[in-house]
Each structure stands twice: as C-alpha cells, then as structure tokens.
C-alpha cells in the first residue's frame, strides 16, 4: 500500500516538474524568448531565481504567490499549470497501468499500453501549451500544432510497422486532413456569411493537429467509419465543454465589469438548477405539487435570466463574451476521446 502511494506521488511530482517546463514554454512563446538559454527570472525586478524558488507548486505556496525579492505577484498560471500537468500524468498513468499498480504484475507493460501512454502524455502536454497561449494571448502558435501532427504521424507509423499494416497511419493522415478542412470550411462560412469571428485563425490548425492525434489512436482495422464517428464526437463535444467552462469566465467578466445584478441572477439560476437536479435525483420531488412548483420556479428564473441577458446584449455588453477562445475546449474534447478510444477497445489492461 505504501509502495503504491509512493509511486503515485512520484508520478504526480514528475508531472508537476513537466508542468513547470510547460509554463516556461507558454510564457516564452508569447514573449518570443528562447526556451533554453536565460535562467528563470522575475519579470518585474529581473532578479535571477534561486533553485528553491523553482520547485513546482511548493515555491508558489511558500512564497505566498509573491516574488521573493520585490514582492511582485506571481501569476496564478504557474501553480494551475503545474497542478494540472501533475494530475494529467497521474490520471493517464493509472488508466494504462492500474492493474500493474494494484497487483504488482508487469502484464500491463505491453507494447500497446506503453506506446499509447507515452504518446497520450506528449500530446496532452502540447494541448496544455496550446490552451495556455490561447487563453493568455488569444493566439494559437502554428508551430505547436505542427509538432502534434509530427509526433502523431511518427506514433502512427510505429504502430503501423508493429501491426504490419498501414491502416493506423492512414487514419491519422485522413483524420488530420478531414478535420482541418472541415473546421477551415466552417470558419469561412462564419466569416463570410454570418460575419462573425466565431472561430479564430488558429482553430483549423488545432483541428488538423487533433485529427492526426485522435486518428493515430484508432486501433488497426477499426475502419474509417469509426474514425469519422470519433472526429464527429470530438467536434460535437467541444461546444458543450466550451459552454461549461464559459459560464465561470462569463461570471468573472461580469464581476470585473461591475454588472453585479446580472451576475447575481445568473448564479441564482445555476444554483437553483443544481439543487433542483439533486432534489429530483434523490426523490424529494415525489408529489405532484412539489414537482410542478419547483419546475415553475425554474422556468420563471430561466425566463428572467433570458430577458436580462437580452437586455445586456442590446446594451452591447456582450463583448465580455467574445474574449473566450475555443482552442482549450477543442483540445480537452480531443483528450477525452484519446482516453475513451482505448477504453472502448479494451487496449488498457
């Protein structure tokens, strides 16, 4: 038991160290600095950091989020990315090797498991970088998408050689081309016909990258119909994730713009919906009166929210919404499918 906990903790710590590096990649891509050469330094007072200021998560906690030299606030991005990457390493590793972790057998270390595990981690790290730059500077750097395409094609080629069949390489290639063209076409449609910039310039490239990555995970001989369904799934799940993670960002923007009125009724509405779902799940709304009454309140609140949203849109406060990039939702959706495909096909033991 202690051995398992030690291994899990170690995997998490290794993940946070990688996360630390991803932070550097995100920031230096945006500021166009070299990733390797200059040592980490405070962006304000330019003092070079000591090694103990660079410990993932712990340094942020001990420094209470401030530079040790000048007291400048350290961006919350650092601990968030480090924690997320640690969680990612832990989750993906447990997913592929849970039997080995639990029983100590080495049966889980098959060619398929080990290669898919490494591939998923590399691509997910790049997903984090893409999300980071997209959130921070509203820009997707095409280089990152090309690296995903390259890594995915290499992985697909290795799988193809291992299987002595080129279908996985084909899935990866076709997946990338089809998804790129699909999203590029959609962007053209939105830009020209609807005159809205609903999709960013980088979104077709993200689609191309995740198309090759997801395609490379399709098992040998599964067929192009499965590939098509998976890409459709990634595409349909993305707006759903976008909506879910847009709600807190939208609320935060309302708070920043001091629109407390709309913020309050939105929180009231979502809070009520959550309580309502719980209550109906636990069978507290058995009698008809309680059911109709609670549903009536939900409908009334929903109507109120709609009216207030319309009013704020007409007053042109909708700009708080336009600043939220789609990229993170796309890559999260792709990540979920990269885990779901082997889960469905029973690749992980």
- For the CB of residue 46, give the shortest distance to Zn ion in the complex, in Å: 7
- For the CB of residue 81, give the shortest distance to Zn ion in the complex, in Å: 20
- For the CB of residue 40, give the shortest distance to Zn ion in the complex, in Å: 11
Residue with tokens 């909506």: 243
- For the CB of residue 49, give the shortest distance to Zn ion in the complex, in Å: 9
In angstroms, the CA 219 to CA 163 distance is 10
Listed as own residue / partner, the contacts of 9-12 with beta carbons closer than 8 Å and 24 or more positions apart are 11/89, 11/90, 11/93, 12/86, 12/87, 12/89, 12/90
Among residues 70, 71, 114, 73, the alpha carbon closest in space to that of 92 is found at: 114
Residue with tokens 């310039």: 201
Q: Site residues (CB under 5 A) for Zn ion?
A: 42, 44-45, 67, 69-70, 72
By C-beta, is 70 or 307 nearer to Zn ion? Answer: 70
Which DSSP category does 36 fall into? S
- For the CB of residue 129, give the shortest distance to Zn ion in the complex, in Å: 25
By C-beta, is 44 or 311 nearer to Zn ion? Answer: 44
By C-beta, is 45 or 290 nearer to Zn ion? Answer: 45
59 and 52 Cβ atoms separated by less than 8 Å: yes
In angstroms, the CA 86 to CA 183 distance is 31
In angstroms, the CA 332 to CA 328 distance is 6
- For the CB of residue 76, give the shortest distance to Zn ion in the complex, in Å: 16
By C-beta, is 44 or 256 nearer to Zn ion? Answer: 44
Q: Is the dihedral of CA 122, 123, 126, 128 positive or negative?
A: negative
By C-beta, is 70 or 106 nearer to Zn ion? Answer: 70
Cα radius of gyration (the chain): 23
- For the CB of residue 45, give the shortest distance to Zn ion in the complex, in Å: 3
By C-beta, is 46 or 196 nearer to Zn ion? Answer: 46
- Using DSSP, state whether 48 is helix, strand or coil: strand
- For the CB of residue 74, give the shortest distance to Zn ion in the complex, in Å: 9
Among residues 20, 10, 23, 11, the alpha carbon closest in space to that of 58 is found at: 20
Angle between helices 203-217 and 111-137 (to 10 degrees): 170
- Measure the CA dihedral 278/282/286/288, to 10°: 10
């Amino acid at each position: 038991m202690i051995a398992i906990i030690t291994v899990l903790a170690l995997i998490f710590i290794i993940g946070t160290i990688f996360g630390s590096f991803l932070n550097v990649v995100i920031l230096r891509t945006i500021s166009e600095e070299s990733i390797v050469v200059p040592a980490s330094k405070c962006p304000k007072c330019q003092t070079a950091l000591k090694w103990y200021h660079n410990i993932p998560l712990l340094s942020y906690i001990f420094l209470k989020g401030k530079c040790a030299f000048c007291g400048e606030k350290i961006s919350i991005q650092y601990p968030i990315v480090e924690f997320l990457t640690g969680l990612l390493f832990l989750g993906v590793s447990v997913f592929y090797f849970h039997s080995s972790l639990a029983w100590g057998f080495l049966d889980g270390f098959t060619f398929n498991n080990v290669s898919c595990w490494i591939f998923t981690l590399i691509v997910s790290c790049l997903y984090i970088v893409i999300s980071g730059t997209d959130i921070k500077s509203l820009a997707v750097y095409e280089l990152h998408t090309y690296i995903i395409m390259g890594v995915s094609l290499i992985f697909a080629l290795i799988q193809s050689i291992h299987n002595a069949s080129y279908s996985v390489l084909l899935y990866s290639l076709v997946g990338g081309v089809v998804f790129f063209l699909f999203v590029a076409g959609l962007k053209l449609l939105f830009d020209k016909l609807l005159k809205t910039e609903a999709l960013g310039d980088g979104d077709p490239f993200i689609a191309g990258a995740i198309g090759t990555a997801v395609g490379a995970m399709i098992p040998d001989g599964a067929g192009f119909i499965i590939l098509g369904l998976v890409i459709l799934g990634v595409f349909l799940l993305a707006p759903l994730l976008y909506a879910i993670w847009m709600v807190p960002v939208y609320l935060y923007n309302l708070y920043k713009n001091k629109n407390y009125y709309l913020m309050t009724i939105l929180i009231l509405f979502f809070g009520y919906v959550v309580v309502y779902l719980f209550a109906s799940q636990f069978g507290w709304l058995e009698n008809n009166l309680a059911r109709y009454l609670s549903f009536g309140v939900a409908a009334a609140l929903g109507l109120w929210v709609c009216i207030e949203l319309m009013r704020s849109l007409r007053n042109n406060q909708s700009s708080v919404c336009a600043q939220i990039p789609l990229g993170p939702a796309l890559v999260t959706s792709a990540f979920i499918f990269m885990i779901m495909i082997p889960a469905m096909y029973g690749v992980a033991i």
